[in-house]
Amino acid sequence: MENRCNYCKSSSAALNGFRKTKNRGNIQRYRCMSCGKTFVENGGFRWKHHAKRTIIGSIHLHLIGSSLRDAAKFLSVSVDSVFRWFLEYGKMIIGYVKDMKPFRTERLHMDEMSVKTRGKSFYVWASICRESRFATAFLASDRTKKNARLLMKESPPAMNITTDGAFGYGSVIKDLKGLGYHHDHYHRCASFEDKKDNNLIERWNNSYRANTHELRGFKELYTGDLFVRLWTFYYDFIRPHSSLGRTPAEEAGLVRYHEGDDWFGRWERWVERASLSFYLAYISTVFSNSAQESAKSFLRGLRVSLFYYFSMFFHHYIALPLSRVYRHYPPCRLFRFSHVPFASESDDL
């Protein structure tokens, strides 16, 4: 990763010793040749008290089947830290790769699988491409056309769609003709002999069950959906596929890894990119909010100033001249009105 200065963003930096930390070891320090300030590389782990291998390793262990408690015990950290890292970096990575998918696939296999969440049956909606084995999945609370339509929109566009015939995908395809789907592209495996045509997604379901068997379900729908999406990211971008010899993302042409990259190097690469994108979006949001607050305060001050100047203008140019006129010429004389008694002076009024 190119070492840029955190202050002036210059790429001309020289080594300047190490920063000693308790849990993260010695961190390389740099000195900027342009502004003269020292800095350390961020890499998505700024202000963390543990090494990045510990943080990435906890997420990796949780995704390959270890529970949060087992991962924390193995790495000698607290369970709350592992859960916090999983939520923080999981949201960053999913937000960064949510739009990364193959441009088009020849055949798409779709299926839904029941999982337990607090004793209730929730459903994992999943699809996989036949050529690249690129998968898309999320967790939902029911089996409705809305979730089937969402799965088709998040999946790569396909020339043909294959399902097991357990759900009315055909009626959903009729509603999605604008996305290029037609009813004659839909293959419904209704008979037992045709079930073998949908073995790809069934094999994906088995891989998911094998890695989540120790979890015994999810506590909430939000964390369950985050885990399903992050595990799908691990399946597509981190773990090499046994039949392809590389990851499905590499097969689809979405990413190219260096030769010899292990799982840690791949995780580190995606965490750095996702955290940088997240921080840039956060900074732009903060600046836009501060600009809005500045505009609101300016308009508020302008409104107060206008009210002040209008009141002064009314006092000097309208109220004072009228008071002088009324002092010498009361309204009854000025407009030749007769004296009108009050209600207490006349009983006829």
Q: What is the pLDDT of residues 278-336, one digit of tens each?
A: 666 655 565 555 566 667 777 777 777 777 777 777 777 777 777 766 666 555 444 44
Does the pLDDT of residue 339 top 60, yes or no?
Answer: no
Short-list 134, 137, 133, 177, CA closest to 154: 137
Digit-coded pLDDT (tens) for 196-219: 567 888 888 888 888 877 676 677
157 Cβ neighbours under 8 A, 6+ residues apart: 103, 104, 105, 179, 180
Q: What is the largest CA-CA distance in the chain?
A: 110
Digit-coded pLDDT (tens) for 39-71: 777 666 777 778 888 888 999 999 988 888 899
Short-list 138, 117, 116, CA closest to 127: 138
- Check if the beta carbon of residue 166 is closer than 8 Å to that of residue 258: no
Pairing of strands 158-163, 186-188: parallel
- Check if the beta carbon of residue 275 is closer than 8 Å to that of residue 44: yes
pLDDT of amino acid 137: 92
pLDDT bin (cut points 50, 70, 90) of residue 74 is very high
pLDDT of amino acid 334: 44
State whether CATH 3.30.1510.10 applies to domain 98-256.
no
Does the pLDDT of residue 337 top 50, yes or no?
Answer: no
Residue range 33-39: mean pLDDT, rounded = 84
pLDDT of amino acid 338: 45
Task: Supply the pTM of this predicted model.
Answer: 0.71
- Check if the beta carbon of residue 78 is closer than 8 Å to that of residue 54: no
d(CA 54, CA 56): 6
Residue 75 backbone class (left: φ over 0; alpha: ψ -120 to 50; beta: rest): alpha
d(CA 145, CA 153): 12
CA 174 distance to own-chain centroid: 30
Between residues 91 and 24, the one the model is more confident about:
91
Q: How far is CA 128 from CA 164, 172, 199, 299, 310, in A?
A: 13, 18, 11, 54, 69
pLDDT of amino acid 50: 83
**Residue-averaged pLDDT of the chain:** 77
d(CA 220, CA 243): 34
> CATH 3.30.420.10 region(s) of the chain?
98-256
Domain 1-41: CATH class, spelled out: mainly beta
Pairing of strands 38-40, 26-32: antiparallel
